[in-house]
Amino acid sequence: MPIELLTQKKGPKISKYIYGQFSEHLGHGIYGGIYVGKDSDIPNVNGLRSDVVNALKKIHVPVLRWPGGLFADTYHWKDGIGPKAGRKKIVNTNWGDVTEDNSFGTHEYFELLRQLGADAYINANIGSGTVQEMAEWVEYMTMAGESPMANLRRQNGRQDPWKLKFFGIGNESWGGGGNMRPEYYSDVYRQYQTFLPQYDKEHPIYKVACGPNEDDYNWTDTVMKYAGKYLDGLSLHYYTLPTGIWHQGEKGDATDFPEEQWWSTIAHAKHMDELITKHSTIMDRYDPDHHVDLIVDEWGTWYNVTKGTNPGFLQQQNTIRDAMVASIILNIFHRHADRVHMANIAQMINVLQSMILTKGDQMIKTPTYYVFDMYQKHMDAELVEGVGNVPEHVTYTASQKNGQLTISITNYDLTTKQAVDFTAADAYQRIEAATILTADKMDAHNTFADPNIVHEAPFKGATLTNGKLHLKLPPKSVVTITLKY
């Protein structure tokens, strides 16, 4: 029986912010990956490498979380402003104990957003910082009139304030961000948000509280109970590991992995649905009208680091398996679009499940990048519910916007082709576009020597007849089909 897509039934909007990115001062995530400085031989605009920016612009990055992560709770923003020669050098104690010169700071971050056309999501330092430090940073960024921090911003070359869309108060406060109890964190959050200035009354800053790690349901319950009325979003962190073991050397490798780890990785990715369901159920008790969103601001695969690299840099390869994980989890976010408003994959460049890898002046796009590219038409579209049996090892999502119906389907079976049929409104008469991402090997990946081993291609295995869409899906494949009136 075909899967019937209920195009006449109104569904929730799939927020574009679900496709958000995360870039921390970690390894080569910033320096060398995004920022090379104006004097670099690598082509750049204001120090930001042009090849990376141009690639990211093509997937329309909607929001970028910065500066961390764990780094946020050791970051003091005044170290990263003013003439670069006078900026304070710091030691990144969280990630490799390397010294950085703070040449990428607030101004450079907002310049990156300008070039990308993305919104800001900044994490405050509540671990080693102060309420005053946070308030002055927001004043520096957003105050339009006369004030000490606004005038300091002008002295540093920026006349007008920036737009600050999202602001996180605390990161992993249950762990490296302070090892706090949820009751204590709730009070800290309430204090900090009290002194968060809102200079733009028409566009108030959206406040994100530190939410749970994975299945810590008590954290969600406690924070919603004591601080729920003071926040706009509650974060959730969950990483997909093949083994489920966090010790270095036991997470599983990004390439040359056994078949059993293909399946365990898929199973752990699918666990995201249970986590969102259970945390949402708790949130519903305190917020039945869904005024508070769930923000999954760290997610993605986490493997053993690439051999020979600094273990504190979290560099790993990105294979067709990662594409499967990305599509599975994005589909889950879509199904929970009534509660999940934003997500930020970790991380954008050179770290964990990244969009892009760089090496000197070279750049390659990962299989995960192509999934984000293929899913663009779901951004801010209306979710379309489906009714019918889904074949084993297949996951899909559908949405409609501007007279188009977009369906993304994944066959994560290693060897078996899958035939999938959909029915939709008769108004959808033709296939507007069809693309596929697939590979022969389960650890196929792009390299600097061969950057196009895994890439998007036109998909020829689709037919549309009298409102019935028939697809023949190869194994290890992600397909996106767009139908038009």
Same domain, 447 and 466: yes
Residue 211 lies in a domain: yes
Residue 268 lies in a domain: yes
172 is known as an active-site residue: yes
Q: Is the pLDDT assigned to residue 466 strictly greater than 90? A: no
| Boundary (domain end) residue, out of 364, 379, 394 | 379
Residue 348 lies in a domain: yes
The CATH number assigned to the domain holding 449 equals 2.60.40.1180
Distant-in-sequence, close-in-space partners of 329: CB < 8 Å, separation ≥ 6 = 240, 269, 272, 299
Kindly report, residue by residue over 308-327, the tens digit of the pLDDT: 999 999 999 999 999 999 99
Measured between alpha carbons, how far is 302 from 256 in angstroms, rounded to an integer? 15
Residue 9 lies in a domain: no
Measured between alpha carbons, how far is 243 from 151 in angstroms, rounded to an integer? 52
Dihedral sign of CA atoms 143, 144, 147, 149 in order: positive
Assign 154 to helix, strand or coil: helix
The CATH number assigned to the domain holding 325 equals 3.20.20.80
Average pLDDT over residues 26-32: 97
Q: What is the mean pLDDT of the chain?
A: 97
Measured between alpha carbons, how far is 335 from 213 in angstroms, rounded to an integer? 21
Residue 159 lies in a domain: yes
136 is known as an active-site residue: no
Same domain, 375 and 454: no
Kindly report, residue by residue over 387-441, the tens digit of the pLDDT: 999 999 999 999 999 999 999 999 999 999 999 999 987 778 899 999 999 999 9
6-10, 62-66, 328-332, 382-386: range with lowest mean pLDDT: 6-10
Contact 359, 448 (CB under 8 A): yes
Same domain, 411 and 361: no
Same domain, 399 and 345: no
Q: Please give the tally of structural domains in the chain.
A: 2
Residue 1 lies in a domain: no
Q: What is the per-residue DSSP string for 194-260?
A: HT-----TTSPPEEEE---BTT-HHHHHHHHHHHGGG-SEEEEEEEE-SS---STTSS--SSS--HH
What per-residue confidence (pLDDT) applies to 166? 98
Same domain, 334 and 425: no
Same domain, 92 and 194: yes
Kindly report, residue by residue over 254-303, the tens digit of the pLDDT: 999 999 999 999 999 999 999 999 999 999 999 999 999 999 999 999 99
Give the residue among 266, 164, 167, 170 at the shortest CA–CA distance from 213.
170
Indicate which residue of 24, 136, 172, 456 is catalytic. 172
Assign 177 to helix, strand or coil: coil
Residue 455 lies in a domain: yes
Contact 329, 299 (CB under 8 A): yes
Residue 435 lies in a domain: yes
Q: Which domain holds residue 373?
A: 15-379
What per-residue confidence (pLDDT) applies to 111? 98
Q: Is the pLDDT assigned to residue 376 strictly greater than 90? A: yes
Indicate which residue of 214, 298, 382, 392 is catalytic. 298
| Boundary (domain end) residue, out of 348, 379, 410 | 379
Q: Is the pLDDT assigned to residue 1 strictly greater than 80? A: no
